[in-house]
Amino acid sequence: MTTATTRLLDWAAAQGQDVPSTLGRALVVAQQAHRQRIRLSGDPHIVHVVEVALIVTQQCAAAETVIAAVLHDVPDTPAAPSGAELRAQFGADVVDILDGYTKLEQLPLDPDLRSADRRVLGIKIAHRLHNMRTIHHLHPARQRTEAEHTCEVVAPLARDLGGVELGAELDRLSHATLGSTDVVRHIQPEPRTNRGSGALRGALRRCAGPPEEPRKVSNHQVRKRGTATRWADAGEGDHEHRAGLPR
């Protein structure tokens, strides 16, 4: 059992009631669903799932949201349990969050996110934060794409939701990625303008700027600077080694 799993189980025990047993069932379902999935880091996919759930617990989320975080990638697996099966095991709230998470993959980030469930956004932010913590396993070109999307969209959104520390870590990781030598080598130089701005310089400036004041999610505006228009466009699946996986 990993340290992260132990910490997650300790969190569940502190919640009392049926949370430990429900979390245990969720971990079993996730382990079975992801048993053939390996991340580019070499870790089993279940490691990512547990880390995401731990980040969600740090947001003071309700137990249903943490359980959904454990299960957040299960619907994408070939032999995923049906919605009815998940509902019977984990309840309607968990299934509603999972449905919202799946729909978020196709939800345009422009112009606002007022229709998105804050619980779903919290899981998605946690998902991205763990991916940013392991981003060095990606191809440098993909690192740049994900880092730019993170500092322009995800970090401000985290702050909008009250996650100031999460937003700061996302900014720091994005800035470090965009400034790394390997990523710089893969950025094609742009023609110079009178203002002397380029893709890397602009991205670094946006990440390095002072933290924005928290805003209401309903007023969240996404800047149009060539960032991905949907969560799914940001290369989340590239963190996984898919060779030999069942279709």
3-state secondary structure 197-227: CCHHHHHHHHHHCCCCCCCCHHHCCCCCCCC
Q: Give the pLDDT score at 199.
A: 47
pLDDT above 90 covers a percentage of the chain that reads 51
Residues 159 and 88 in one domain: no
Query: Per-residue confidence at 107, pLDDT binned at 50, 70, 90?
Result: low
Last residue of a domain, one of 106, 135, 170: 106
- Flag whether 237 is in a domain: no
Residues 96 and 147 in one domain: no
- Flag whether 23 is in a domain: yes
Under 8 Å between Cβ of 224 and 153: no
Under 8 Å between Cβ of 20 and 9: yes
To the question of pTM greater than 0.85 for the whole model, the response is: no
Last residue of a domain, one of 85, 106, 127: 106
Q: Each residue of 187-202: pLDDT tens digit?
A: 544 444 443 334 444 5
Residues 169 and 223 in one domain: yes
Residues 22 and 62 in one domain: yes
- Flag whether 242 is in a domain: no
- Flag whether 239 is in a domain: no
Of 16, 133, 32, 114, nearest to 73 by C-alpha is 32
Length of the chain: 247
- Confidence check: pLDDT of 219 > 50: no
Residues 93 and 121 in one domain: no
Residues 166 and 88 in one domain: no
- Please state the domain count of the chain: 2
Among 25-39, 93-107, 222-236, the range of highest mean pLDDT? 25-39
Query: Per-residue confidence at 42, pLDDT binned at 50, 70, 90?
Result: confident
Computed over every residue of the chain, the mean pLDDT equals 79
Q: Give the pLDDT score at 201.
A: 47
- Flag whether 184 is in a domain: yes
Q: Give the pLDDT score at 188.
A: 47
Q: Which of 103-112, 114-123, 216-225 has the lowest mean pLDDT?
A: 216-225
Q: Please tell me which residue, 17 or 127, carries the higher pLDDT value.
A: 127
Q: Does the CA dihedral 196-109-146-167 come out positive or negative?
A: positive
Containing structural domain, residue 169: 115-230
Last residue of a domain, one of 106, 123, 143: 106
- Confidence check: pLDDT of 237 > 60: no
Residues 154 and 185 in one domain: yes
Q: Each residue of 165-176: pLDDT tens digit?
A: 999 999 999 999
Please state the rounded mean pLDDT for residues 72-80: 89
Q: Give the pLDDT score at 2.
A: 73
Q: How many helices (H) and strands (E) does the chain have?
A: 12, 2
- Flag whether 241 is in a domain: no
Q: Give the pLDDT score at 205.
A: 53
Range list of β-strands (E), 15-96: 38-39
Residues 70 and 130 in one domain: no
Distance, in Å, from the CA atom of 74 to the CA atom of 89, rounded to the nearest integer, reads 14
Residues 95 and 146 in one domain: no
CATH number at residue 33: 1.10.3210.10
Please state the rounded mean pLDDT for residues 45-72: 95
Q: Give the pLDDT score at 102.
A: 87
Residues 134 and 36 in one domain: no
- Flag whether 188 is in a domain: yes
Residues 121 and 222 in one domain: yes
Residues 129 and 44 in one domain: no
- Flag whether 172 is in a domain: yes
